[in-house]
Chain A
Amino acid sequence: MRGLRVALPGGTLFDSACGLLDAAGIARLDPGRFDRELSISHGDDVFVKVRPTDVPVYVEMGGCDCGIVGKDVLWESSRECYELADLGFGRCRLVLAAPRDSALASGVWPQSLRVATKYPVSARRFFAARSLNVVVIRLHGSVELAPLTGLADCVLDITATGRTLAANNLVEIAEAGTSTARLIANHAALKTRNDQVGAIAVALRRMAAARTTVGAA
């Protein structure tokens, strides 16, 4: 039987994902090597670097047996994968933010609201419980510009430190969720390669838990 195929998310989680795989004794991958190669073999296993939003696609369709991806990507994805473990790193929050001088910032919810976001599915779910007339405007980047230019009244976006929001004169109104990196697995791979997928899940969980404990101490 072939080894595992593992999808890794390019972008902000990438170095930490490689670091955790190394620390957990699964694979020592030089992140820099992925600049030249998209796929790296380690023993029988193959690691591929793909866009974060593509990780659930590779895993659901069986292109990869498992993958590492942020929970924020899973919120938006309709792909059916098993979510096996919270890996603890890549912590960030999905927040609703509005210009500092807006009515919304002073706690007044208007009857209608234009929300710019890279997270339209999460936005719909977040506002579903509130009786507001919400127009969701899907953007692909730099959503902070939307209120500045009058495109939208507020943004629903990911923030780790709050610095980008503050720099664009935005204040947090409400939190929609907290995201961390997750280990996900293909349905059939979890059954037909249970030993292999189980081993990687156990090793990553143990290392993630150890790091959380150290971090808390």
Chain B
Amino acid sequence: MTGLDALPPGASVRGRADGFTDYLVGPAARRRMLTDRFIETFEAWGYGFMVTPLIEPLDTIAAGVGGVQQSALFRFMDSDGALLALVGERTVSVARVVATQLHDGPFPIRLCYAGSVLRNQALNAGRRRESLQAGCELVGASGLAADAECIALAAAALERGGVEHIQVDVGHADFIPGLLDSAGLEPAAREEVLAALARRDLVAVESALEGTDAADAERRLLLAFPTLRGGREILDMAAGGLRGARPHRALQELAQLWDLLDAHAITDRVHLDLGAVRDWDYYTGPTFEVFSVDSGFALGSGGRYDTLLSRFGATLPATGFVLHVDRCHDSMVRRAGAQTTPVVLRVSWDGDAHAGALELTRGLRHKGVACTCDLDSGGDGDVRVSAAGARWSHLGRDEQGSVDAAVAALVPHAS
């Protein structure tokens, strides 16, 4: 018997749970470096690094995220019977910390984090159930300058991490609900349209609008939904004929935000997207998503969430974003192929040269060059330094101190 037949029914296959990943030496290092680049950028912009728990009480999470996201949590019971969950995102945790421990300010507070988040996805769906997220939260600033700072920082961090050809889509969480208000829809029809939009079902949006007496300008915008994208000029185009104050206010905010992003010198990567569909219970103002042509999923997303902290007892405006490290890594691999891993030199020795070899490795490591020293003697009586592959440098006994020569020969880019 071979293959599947060789396994008795019910035999345990000692492997990983579906949706979880082992990161071996190269990818694990690149993933960590990518996270480091993100955090370095966040810190360079004055965002203090903090850590929140992997587990939160379900009540805490439920204060922040809606039912659909809650149902995707890994849940379990604490020893006192209380329900706990593995966090599915970390903004709620940061909001809890600020509202309960940092509520006296001074504001604004700039915080950043990186850590695993877990989602209980369907089996064999090809989706990650554990992924790494790095994010920033800017709490206590209500102005659009704070939103612009977050968008610019997200773009800067991705670029610092080497993620190329990004595109930022900026929308406003109040535009579509405001549009529905000013369209004069019945509450039931309004909910139907919002629900269809949330499902991204534009066919249902259309049929929900058909039966209503929505005003022409609003109907036109709602039906043009996926094409409401472009530069600053689309704001004027959209504003024509709109009656309600609410959508106009959203458009004005986006116009101001565009000018701020222009001052940040990133409008060449920004599209305004009036049809952006985001979680309307959570976001209250400008929102954004970051894309690249190398990924079918958003690499990052964020926005203003002014009501979240009040659910933890502190009335504070806030804005922030998260970057999906694994998706960024996927997109880089797709573009460039698996990048080379850092070179590790190998120092081998023979006879009485062990001490000399160790001295050489100390010198190399002091220079920041990764190296190993053979545990047993070998070779032909000299200390040798070799890198992965065929390249190696032979150093005679009288040259043992010549660390610089070894580095220059084997790690050209290090000096």
Q: Is the CB of A62 within 8 A of B204?
A: no
Q: Is the CB of B296 within 8 A of A61?
A: yes
Question: Quick check: which of B17-25, B287-295, B369-377 contacts chain A, the rest being far away?
Answer: B287-295
Task: Decide yes or no whether A110 CB sits under 8 A from chain B.
Answer: no
Q: Is the CB of A83 within 8 A of B298?
A: no
User: With A62-B297, A80-B200 known to touch, is A192 a contact of B292 (CB < 8 Å)?
Assistant: yes
B216: chain A residues at CB < 8 Å are none
Q: Is the CB of A192 within 8 A of B291?
A: yes
A189: chain B residues at CB < 8 Å are 296
Encode contact with A along B122-134: 1 for CB under 8 Å, 0 otherwise.
Answer: 1001100000000
Interface of B is mostly: mixed
Task: Decide yes or no whether B202 CB sits under 8 A from chain A.
Answer: yes
The B165-189 residues at the A interface (CB cut-off 8 A) are: 167, 169
Q: How far is the CB of A183 from chain B (nearest CB, A)?
A: 9
Task: Decide yes or no whether B201 CB sits under 8 A from chain A.
Answer: yes
Complex: A198 Cα to B125 Cα, angstroms = 28
Q: Is the CB of A191 within 8 A of B273?
A: yes
Q: Nearest CB to that of B204 among chain A residues? A: A83
B291: chain A residues at CB < 8 Å are 188, 191-192
Task: Decide yes or no whether B271 CB sits under 8 A from chain A.
Answer: yes
Tell which of A182, A191, A193 touches B271, judged by Cβ atoms closer than 8 Å: A191
User: With A192-B167, A192-B291 known to touch, is A83 a contact of B271 (CB < 8 Å)?
Assistant: no
User: With A78-B122, A83-B201, A194-B227 known to touch, is A1 a contact of B296 (CB < 8 Å)?
Assistant: no
Complex: A78 Cα to B292 Cα, angstroms = 24
Complex: A82 Cα to B204 Cα, angstroms = 11
Q: Is the CB of B297 within 8 A of A187?
A: yes
B289: chain A residues at CB < 8 Å are 191
A188: chain B residues at CB < 8 Å are 291-292, 295-298
User: With A78-B122, A194-B226 known to touch, is A187 a contact of B298 (CB < 8 Å)?
Assistant: yes
Task: Decide yes or no whether A154 CB sits under 8 A from chain B.
Answer: no
Q: Is the CB of A82 within 8 A of B226?
A: yes
Complex: A193 Cα to B293 Cα, angstroms = 8
Complex: A83 Cα to B226 Cα, angstroms = 11
Q: Nearest CB to that of A57 among chain B residues? A: B126
Q: How far is the CB of A90 from chain B (nearest CB, A)?
A: 14
Q: Nearest CB to that of A198 among chain B residues? A: B227
A186: chain B residues at CB < 8 Å are 296
A190: chain B residues at CB < 8 Å are 226
User: With A78-B122, A191-B271, A191-B291 known to touch, is A60 a contact of B202 (CB < 8 Å)?
Assistant: no
User: With A191-B167, A191-B273, A192-B291 known to touch, is A84 a contact of B226 (CB < 8 Å)?
Assistant: yes
Q: Is the CB of A63 within 8 A of B273?
A: no
Complex: A196 Cα to B178 Cα, angstroms = 29
A198: chain B residues at CB < 8 Å are 226-227
A187: chain B residues at CB < 8 Å are 200, 296-298
Q: How many of B's residues come within 8 Å of A, CB to CB?
A: 25
Interface of A is mostly: mixed
Q: How far is the CB of B238 from chain A (nearest CB, A)?
A: 16
User: With A78-B122, A198-B226 known to touch, is A192 a contact of B200 (CB < 8 Å)?
Assistant: no
Task: Decide yes or no whether A85 CB sits under 8 A from chain B.
Answer: yes
Q: Is the CB of B200 within 8 A of A82?
A: yes
Task: Decide yes or no whether A86 CB sits under 8 A from chain B.
Answer: yes
Task: Decide yes or no whether B203 CB sits under 8 A from chain A.
Answer: yes
B206: chain A residues at CB < 8 Å are 86
B295: chain A residues at CB < 8 Å are 62, 188
Q: Nearest CB to that of A183 among chain B residues? A: B203
Task: Decide yes or no whether B229 CB sits under 8 A from chain A.
Answer: yes
Task: Decide yes or no whether A173 CB sits under 8 A from chain B.
Answer: no
The B210-244 residues at the A interface (CB cut-off 8 A) are: 226-227, 229
Task: Decide yes or no whether A201 CB sits under 8 A from chain B.
Answer: yes
Q: Nearest CB to that of A65 among chain B residues? A: B296
Q: Is the CB of A60 within 8 A of B296?
A: yes
Q: Nearest CB to that of B276 among chain A residues? A: A191
Q: How far is the CB of A213 from chain B (nearest CB, A)?
A: 16
B229: chain A residues at CB < 8 Å are 191, 194
Complex: A7 Cα to B297 Cα, angstroms = 17
Q: Is the CB of A83 within 8 A of B227?
A: no
Q: Nearest CB to that of A197 among chain B residues? A: B226
Q: Nearest CB to that of A194 among chain B residues? A: B229
Q: Is the CB of A62 within 8 A of B167?
A: no
Task: Decide yes or no whether A81 CB sits under 8 A from chain B.
Answer: yes
The B257-277 residues at the A interface (CB cut-off 8 A) are: 271, 273
B167: chain A residues at CB < 8 Å are 191-192
Q: How far is the CB of B241 from chain A (nearest CB, A)?
A: 22
Q: How far is the CB of B202 from chain A (nearest CB, A)?
A: 6
Complex: A142 Cα to B204 Cα, angstroms = 30
15 extra A-B contacts, CB within 8 A, seeds A86-B206, A189-B296, A198-B227: A1-B293, A62-B295, A78-B125, A82-B202, A84-B202, A84-B203, A86-B203, A182-B203, A186-B296, A187-B200, A187-B297, A188-B291, A188-B295, A191-B169, A193-B293
